[in-house]
Structure 1
Amino acid sequence: MSLFNLLVSKTIMHIPGPLVGFFARGYIAGEQLDDAVRVARELNGQGIMATIDVLGEFITNLDQARGFKEECLRILQTIDAEGLDANLSLKPTQMGLLLDRDQALANIREIVARAADLNSFVRIDMEDISCTDATLDFYRTLREEFPGHVGVVLQSYLRRTPADIIALSDAPMNFRLCKGIYNEPRTAAWKDPYVINRNYTRCLERIFAAGGYVGIATHDEKLVFEALRLIEKLGLEPDRYEFQMLLGVDEELRRIIVDAGHRMRVYVPYGESWLPYSRRRLKENPSIAEHALRQMLGMRKV
């Protein structure tokens, strides 16, 4: 890690919001749904799918959950009305998971039911370890009620993930596989980046072997290589997987993957709660800030 990146990762939680916003502005569609629609349409024009997410998590009252539920319903309706090649991502805690588990499930069920009516799809995001069991339980319940219209996220840094794949392999599976970004205890999560990558490949192999559909969510070229190796080895058709990346991150690698004939989906976040998201992403990937600074100064990376 460069000295600049180390400095960003250590100080990002204390950097003023406007400065964070400057560095992160290329990685968030904007504050309104119209901004996300505009970006999704641009991506579709490049042969890239989108998943739209309204930012916000760990709410403090159920009125907020109702607001997020209504916004998610509006996103689904807008995707349909605009004819976008896009789906919806949501977080269980913005639906009230940590306040009222039954109400959170009811909120998500209403959203997934609407997605099924529109022949659309909802991805249930994974948050920190306190939410893992409930999130997987929600997915198991809703995939039975609305098969083909709901998926969930798995994180390769969690020690439990290979076992979770086996436990969920008793029915058709649809996963987004990512590394994970929350600071979990060593008892729950691998800490060595090499091991996390090895576990990612192990999980990907396990999903493919079980016949699951997977969104290969990574910007790590080593993992892209391993995924392509497995796809070629197993002779998988493009309808068995897609690659997924964050908006604005490594667009060159994104283009390479698309030009090679693979499906790509880009995560398009929007909303007024952009600051916590931006801080977390910059802490996870401080090279975003370095890239933005180089663009501002007209510098090329050497």
Structure 2
Amino acid sequence: MSLFNQLVSRTIMHIPAPVVRFFAKGYIAGERLEDAVRVSRELNGRGIMTTIDVLGEFITTLDQAENFKRECLGILDTIDREKLDANLSLKPSQMGLLLDREQALANIREIVARAADLGNFVRIDMEDISCTDATLDFYRALREEFPGHVGVVLQAYLRRTPADVAALADAPMNFRLCKGIYNEPRTAAWKNQETINRSFVHILEKMLAAGAYVGIATHDEKLVFEAMRLVDEQGLKPEQYEFQMLLGVDEELRDIIVAAGHRLRVYVPYGESWLPYSRRRLKENPSIAEHALRQMLNMRKV
């Protein structure tokens, strides 16, 4: 990691919001759903699918959960009306998980039911380990009621994930596999980056061998290569998996994946709660800030 990236990673939580906004603006669609629709339409025009997410998590009242539920229902209706090649991502804590577990499940169920009615799909995001068991319980219940319309995220850095895959293998599975970004204790998560990468490949191989549909979520070229290798070895067709990337991150690699004939989905976040998301992403991947700074300097030279 470069000295600049180390500095960003260590100080990002204390950098003023306007500075964070400058570095992160290319990685968030905007503050309104209309912004996410615009970005999704542009990506669809390049043969890229999207998943739309309204930013906001770890709410403090059930009224906030109700507002987020309505927003998610509106996203699904908008995707249908605008004929976008897009689905929805949501966070259980956004739906009230840490306030009222049953109400959170009811909120998510209503959203997944709307997605099923519209022939669409909802991805239940994974948050920190305080939410893991409940999130997987929600997924298990909803995939039984709405098969083919709901999926969940699993994180390669968690030591428990291979066992979670095995436990969910009693029915069709739809996963997004990512490395994981929350700061978990060593007893729960691998800390060495090479180990996390090896875990990612190990878990992906298990998922694909078990017949799961996997959204392979990574910007790491090594992991993209390993995923392509596994897809080739198992003779999978493009409709049996997809790659996933964040908006604005390594667009050249994104184009390489698409040009190779693989399907790819871009995560398109929007909303007023952009600051905590941006800080977390910049801490995880400080090269975003370095890339933005280089672009700014190059523009000034012209």
- Cα distance in 2 for partners of 1:234, 1:146 equals 28
Q: CA deviation at 1:113?
A: 0.2
Matched, 1:158 2:167: no
- Cα distance in 2 for partners of 1:291, 1:207 equals 33
- Cα distance in 1 for partners of 2:276, 2:93 equals 14
Task: Give secondary structure in 1 for the equivalent of 2:130.
Answer: helix
AA partner of residue 87 (structure 1): N
Task: Give secondary structure in 1 for the equivalent of 2:59.
Answer: coil
Match of 1:189 in 2: 189
The two structures, once aligned, show a CA RMSD in angstroms of 0.5
Matched, 1:262 2:269: no
Q: 1:118-172 CA distances to partner (integer Å, 9 max, x unpaired)?
A: 0000000000000000000000000000000000000000000001000000000
Q: CA deviation at 1:240?
A: 1.0
Matches within 5 A, 1:86-125: 86-125=86-125
Match of 2:198 in 1: 198
Task: Give secondary structure in 1 for the equivalent of 2:131.
Answer: helix
- Cα distance in 1 for partners of 2:15, 2:215 equals 33
Task: Give secondary structure in 2 for the equivalent of 1:181.
Answer: coil
Match of 1:209 in 2: 209
Q: 1:24-46 CA distances to partner (integer Å, 9 max, x unpaired)?
A: 00000000000000000000000
Q: 1:78-111 CA distances to partner (integer Å, 9 max, x unpaired)?
A: 0000000000000000000000000000000000
- Cα distance in 2 for partners of 1:184, 1:296 equals 35
Q: 1:183-242 CA distances to partner (integer Å, 9 max, x unpaired)?
A: 000000000101101110010010011100000000000000100111111111111100
Match of 1:239 in 2: 239
Q: 1:259-278 CA distances to partner (integer Å, 9 max, x unpaired)?
A: 00000000000000000000
Match of 1:74 in 2: 74
Match of 1:293 in 2: 293
AA partner of residue 276 (structure 2): P
Match of 1:132 in 2: 132
Match of 2:39 in 1: 39
TM score, norm. by length of structure 2? 0.99
- Cα distance in 2 for partners of 1:232, 1:196 equals 22
AA partner of residue 92 (structure 1): P
Matched, 1:224 2:224: yes
- Cα distance in 2 for partners of 1:233, 1:64 equals 46
- Cα distance in 2 for partners of 1:6, 1:150 equals 38
Task: Give secondary structure in 1 for the equivalent of 2:109.
Answer: helix
- Cα distance in 2 for partners of 1:183, 1:270 equals 24
- Cα distance in 1 for partners of 2:169, 2:282 equals 34
- Cα distance in 2 for partners of 1:68, 1:231 equals 36
Match of 2:276 in 1: 276
Sequence identity (%)? 82
TM score, norm. by length of structure 1? 0.99
